[in-house]
């Protein structure tokens, strides 16, 4: 089975490509490299002993996408190609709607023309919005997210539902999750954000390796146990295997038509301060930080109930917080400048 992975050179994408190859899928990666490196795929090939076809292109280019579908006999698509920083999305919302929403529409149009109907979407648990109670469950209605990033994910989920209503052959899975962290246990691939990291753990790791002076923690006055935001952090390899489990689920359920949503998570909220302490323990080193004002778009606490994925996808997050920290440090300490050699 040949799988097109859009955004496959990025953080979650590259780990998913590795997991797909380990499960004997053929993989084609399509990525514009705006926040990723093709070096990640070279390392994936080395780790697995298998080859990856790579095409550089933009998700908003239907001509380029059509060439890929014409060149390769694609059976399914896993769609990661998106801008993903909550804070940045509030500053440049039009870029987020252009890339995340319009780009997905372009991809779905080309898939429809090519009669490819199997689609796995990298969504976000932010689609539950500010109004929903935790833990989030898939039966909740789509909410009103606090950021353009989250809103773009809601819009795409609605596009998928409408697509499935209009196209009775469409088979979609929407995977909702929060904060992937960690790296492959080899330390060969991991998270390598370009510029200043928007996510917590890469910033912590860059402080630890001496690349940055100190960490900024956005707000310590939230209504949580220690005043910092709480999130459902899960190991990126657990998340990657969740995407493979979703593809396997589609393959097992030939009769399925429509769109099904699954939460992927540990089911536990962990605070920012707790993450910092766990990382300090893992590397036996103090992380300097200061507390900055709250960041636009951040909610106090949320995590997902993943029992549906446990039951139907035969998937579970198994790696511990300690392993997430250790694997992050293994990656960062071996690659202080990321994929730059």
Burial of 223 (0-12, 13-18, 19+ CB in 10 A): exposed
Share of the chain above pLDDT 90, in %: 92
Active-site residues, by number, are 149
Question: Given this model, what pLDDT does residue 15 score?
Answer: 98
Domains defined for the chain, CATH in brackets: 2-182+232-265 (3.40.50.720), 200-229+268-309+321-334 (3.90.25.10)
pLDDT digits (tens, 9 = 90+) for 176-214: 998 999 999 999 999 999 888 888 999 999 999 999 999
pLDDT for 131 equals 87
Helices 236-252, 11-22: crossing angle, 10 deg rounding:
50
Is 165 exposed, middle or buried (CB count within 10 Å of its CB: 0-12, 13-18, 19+)?
exposed
Residues found in the chain? 341
* Rg over CA atoms, the chain: 19
Choice between 87 and 129, residue whose per-residue pLDDT is larger: 129
User: In 10 A of CB 57, how many CB atoms?
Assistant: 17
Task: Give dist(CA 27, CA 20) in Å, integer.
Answer: 7
In tens, the pLDDT along 273-310 reads: 999 999 999 999 999 999 999 987 788 998 989 999 99
Residue 295, by phi and psi: left (phi above 0), alpha (psi -120 to 50) or beta? beta
Question: Tens of pLDDT along 115-141?
Answer: 999 999 999 999 999 888 999 999 999
Residue 234 pLDDT > 70: yes
User: Residue 341: its pLDDT value, please?
Assistant: 65
pLDDT range class, residue 146, cuts 50, 70, 90? confident
């Amino acid at each position: 089975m040949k799988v097109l992975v859009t955004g496959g050179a990025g953080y979650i994408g590259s780990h998913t490509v590795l997991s797909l190859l380990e499960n004997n899928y053929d993989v084609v990666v399509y990525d514009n490299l705006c926040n990723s490196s093709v070096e990640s795929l070279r390392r994936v090939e080395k780790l697995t002993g298998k080859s990856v076809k790579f095409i550089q292109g933009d998700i908003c280019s239907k001509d380029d996408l059509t060439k890929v579908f014409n060149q390769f006999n694609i059976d399914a698509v896993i769609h990661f190609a998106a801008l993903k920083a909550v804070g940045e999305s509030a500053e440049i919302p039009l870029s987020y709607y252009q890339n995340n929403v319009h780009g997905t529409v372009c991809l779905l149009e080309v898939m429809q023309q090519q009669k490819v109907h199997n689609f796995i979407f990298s969504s976000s648990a932010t689609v539950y919005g500010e109004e929903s109670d935790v833990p989030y469950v898939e039966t909740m209605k789509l909410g009103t997210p606090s950021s353009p990033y989250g809103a773009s994910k809601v819009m795409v989920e609605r596009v998928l539902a409408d697509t499935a209503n209009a196209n009775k052959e469409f088979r979609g899975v929407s995977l909702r999750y929060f904060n992937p962290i960690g790296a492959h246990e080899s330390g060969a691939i991991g998270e390598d954000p370009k510029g200043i990291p928007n996510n917590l753990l890469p910033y912590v790791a860059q402080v630890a390796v001496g690349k940055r002076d100190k960490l900024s923690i956005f707000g310590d006055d939230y209504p949580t146990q220690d005043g910092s935001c709480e999130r459902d952090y899960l190991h990126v390899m657990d998340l990657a295997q969740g995407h493979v489990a979703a593809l396997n689920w589609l393959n097992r359920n030939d009769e399925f038509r429509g769109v099904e949503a699954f939460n992927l998570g540990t089911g536990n909220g962990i605070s920012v301060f707790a993450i910092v302490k766990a990382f300090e323990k893992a590397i036996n080193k103090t992380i300097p930080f200061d507390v900055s004002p709250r960041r636009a778009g951040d909610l106090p606490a949320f995590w997902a109930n993943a029992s549906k994925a446990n039951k139907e996808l035969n998937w579970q997050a198994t790696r511990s917080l300690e392993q997430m920290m250790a694997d992050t440090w293994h990656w960062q300490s071996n690659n202080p400048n990321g994929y730059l050699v």
